[in-house]
Structure 1
Amino acid sequence: MRISSALVVVLGLGAPAIASAQSTLPSSCAQTTSAGAQHEGHHYGAAHYAMTLPDGKASLDAARVDLDDHGHMLDGDALTQMLDIASVSLLSAISGHHTMGCHGPWFDRTARSEGTSIVAGARPDLTWRDLTVRSGPVTIHAAAAHLTLAGQDDAPLELTLTFDHVTLSGTGADVLNPDHLTLDVSIPSSALVSLLQVTAGKGAPSQAIQATVRDLTVVMGPTTLRGDGSTTLTGYPDTLSAAGHLSAQHFPDMITRAQDAGLTRPAAAMVIARLVGHRDGDMTRWTVGYTGGVLTVNNVPLPLR
């Protein structure tokens, strides 16, 4: 980020840096803008953070972003780079739109540098407040999204992503909006660069990251879904696979909501899932699998398409 000479004087007096931030990403990857950017030690904050992919097909807006490194290793431009790379990865993962402009020496070098810092002890803690992601006719809004990363040499990198009060419009399934979502996964520490390439730039067809899903929790009104397992992450949905266990508390309430909204196919899939599930009181449990675009519960394929 460029800093004016006047700002350098302010920094010299020991005050936090405040400016309108410039993107650290190549313009062929994504364009970003923000206001009131503030660096102070190992903290970076900004208001009105906005990101758009070059083709204009997807965008991300946050009323406020805050990034702290609790490991006290990242500061200055390293924090801004971490924010931009995390944001373009989140935008691409949610929207399904990828840009090859996020591939190349700059992106790989920067992602590798950030990954090395995390392995060495950096603990990034990033929050997007009042977050909106737009992709074609679909708009996804969350009161807040929160990402933490932690790792160390010869140990898996731990990634936790949460969303609060999510609303979706333009999907036809608004009644299934989650109140809260938590995804807690671990990947080999050496795979962070590959993960960023896969999510932000799609990556090579042969590129795959083995991840352990330690916890997946989705709260939807009275229904709570919880799962764990393993997955192979790629930039191509047809080659993504996953296997594990899933449980649901008060699952019939979720089915009723889908039926009342006229969501015929999702409701039918949930009815089948309940029939083949193992029930214990208000809990329903399954062994689940996903491969080649087909979701199975207790070896029974569900009609999602």
Structure 2
Amino acid sequence: MTNPFKLFALTAILLTPGVACASTLPGVPASCFSYELGGTRQSPHALTATSLHATLTGTDITLDIKGITVADPSGHVETATLERFNAVAAYAALSAFRGGISGACQGQSLGIKSDDIRPGTPQATWSNVSLNRPGHGMTIHKASIQAVQTTPDLRLKVEGMGIHDTKQPLMPTQLSADLTVQGLDTARQQITINALHAVSGSSAIDGKGTIEPGATASTSAADLHVSVTNVETLIGEIRDTAPKKVVAALTIARLMGRQSGDATLWDIGLSGGVVTVNRIPLPFSVP
């Protein structure tokens, strides 16, 4: 995911090479998550590192990054907080790759609050990202996350380019999203997807909507609106490489969609463990 981070024209740079050591987030035990930064250099309101290795302890899921830049161009967020901001992003990436929070991490605080980054606009860029678990790997050439607003709500822009997943044939090669998180410091957040755009083969995926994440899918809620162009072509592109159940699922999804020119549209809802597509309940409940 890429973003212009040539805003780091900071003066009085203190070049202090870092020594790699295992760390974790305040309040998060090493039995849940740990990471190690290598080749760190700090300056006022900025941090760079040549490597990061992180893991969800006991899961065999790892994250490796070969180049990191984290900074607050507004000059408000301290370097130590920027490191935590970067660590939270690493923890989120590992949890997303796993498909949910690991058992050892249930109920753990992420160790960073909205007040820690207000009124700044912290940003992070990662290069040559690799997520791995046995039999499954994902690489990203460049990724970025930018807090463009931190008050009253947290608004983030994330981008990715050069994405490849060994097990997900529909994984977009490019992705960008504009998200707003309300209630960051509360027990119940709402995530608004202001805009999402992705490219997979010859298809473009666009979406918007809201998500209220709960502890499980059955306690979560969602109201999403998604469009995909050239779905028939996309099915043809993956027919010989994707598992049959993926091709079948996409074929069924196409039949449930509404057509608008070359785009297929879906309104997707989740409430009380029941998923609806274009207001039609699916014949199963999610756990």
> TM-score of the superposition, structure 1-length normalised?
0.78
Match 2:156 to one of 156, 159, 184? 159
Give the match's secondary structure for 1:247: strand
Q: Distance in 1 between matches of 2:229 and 2:281?
A: 21
Query: What is the CA-CA distance between 1:80 and the residue it aligns to?
Result: 1.7
Unaligned runs of 5+ in 2: 1-11
> Residues 178 and 218 of structure 1 are in contact (CA less than 8 Å); yes or no, is this contact kept in structure 2?
yes
2:62 equivalent to 1:59 = yes
| Long gaps (5+) in structure 1 | 1-12, 195-206
One-letter amino acid matched to 2:75: H
Shift in CA distance, 77/24, structure 1 to aligned 2, threshold 3 Å: farther
Contact 2:159–2:176 (CA under 8 A) maintained in structure 1? yes
Q: Per-residue deviation at 1:229? A: 0.9
What's 2:48 paired with? 45
Match of 1:116 in 2: 115
Bigger shift: residues 68-77 or 23-32: 23-32
* Residue in 2 that maps onto 1:179: 173
User: Offset of 1:67 from its aligned partner?
Assistant: 0.4
The answer for the alignment partner of 2:8 in structure 1 is: none
Match of residue 202 from structure 1: none
Corresponding position of 2:264: 284
Q: Could you tell me how far apart the structure 1 residues matched to 2:278 and 2:19 are? A: 53
RMSD: 2.7
Match of 2:9 in 1: none
Match of 2:213 among 233, 249, 254: 233
Q: CA, structure 1 residues 32+152, in 2 after alignment: closer, same or farther (shift >3 Å)?
A: closer
**Amino acid of the structure 2 residue aligned with 1:55:** G
Aligned length: 269
C-alpha displacement at 1:83, in angstroms?
1.5
Q: Which has the higher helix share?
A: 1
Deviation at 1:273, TM superposition (A): 2.5
Secondary structure of the 2:234 match is: helix
| Distance of 2:116 and 2:88 partners within structure 1 | 14
Q: How far 1:99 sits from its partner (Å)?
A: 5.5
Distance 2:185 2:42 in 1: 25
Q: Which position in structure 2 is the counterpart of 1:27?
A: 30
Which residue type is aligned with residue 61 of structure 2?
Answer: A
Deviations 1:159-208 (A, max 9, x none): 22222121112x3x4x32311122322122xx3245xxxxxxxxxxxx43
Shift of 1:72: 0.9
Counterparts of residues 134-173 of structure 1 (less than 5 Å): 134-153=132-151, 155-169=152-166, 171=167, 173=168
Q: Is the alpha carbon distance of 1:183 and 1:302 closer, same or farther for their aligned partners in structure 2, counting shifts above 3 Å?
A: farther
Q: How does 1:88-99 map to 2 (within 5 A)?
A: 88-95=91-98, 96-98=100-102
| CA distance in structure 1 between the aligned counterparts of 2:71 and 2:262, rounded to whole angstroms | 40
Distance 1:295 1:37, change over 3 A: same
Shift of 1:111: 1.1
CA contact (8 A) 1:185 1:211 kept: yes
| AA at the equivalent of 1:67 | V
- Name the CA shift for 1:299/1:269 in 2 (closer, same or farther; >3 Å): farther
CA distance in 2: counterparts of 1:76 and 1:281, whole angstroms: 49
Question: Aligned with 1:45: secondary structure?
Answer: strand
Q: Distance in 2 between matches of 1:149 and 1:235?
A: 25
Q: Is the 8 Å Cα contact of residues 160 and 185 (structure 1) preserved in structure 2?
A: yes
Contact 1:258-1:264 within 8 A present in 2 as well: no
Q: Taking structure 1 as reference, are residues 296 and 103 closer, same or farther at Cα in structure 2, changes over 3 Å only?
A: closer
- Structure 1 residue 73 corresponds to structure 2 residue 76: yes
- What is the match of residue 184 of structure 2? 192
Q: Is 1:223 aligned to residue 203 of structure 2? A: yes
Please tell me whether the aligned partners of residues 173 and 200 of structure 2 are also in contact (alpha carbons under 8 angstroms). yes
Q: Are 1:248 and 2:240 counterparts?
A: no
**Offset of 1:224 from its aligned partner?**
0.5
Residue identity in the other structure for 1:192: L
SS in 2 for 1:17: coil
Deviation at 1:24, TM superposition (A): 4.9
* Residue identity in the other structure for 1:166: I
Structure 2 distance, partners of 1:256, 1:239, is 36
How far 1:97 moved relative to its partner?
4.3
- Summarize the Cα distance change of 1:135–1:70 in structure 2 as closer, same or farther, 3 Å threshold: same
Cα deviation code 1:261-303 (max 9, x no counterpart): 2532222222222223222321222222234666433134569
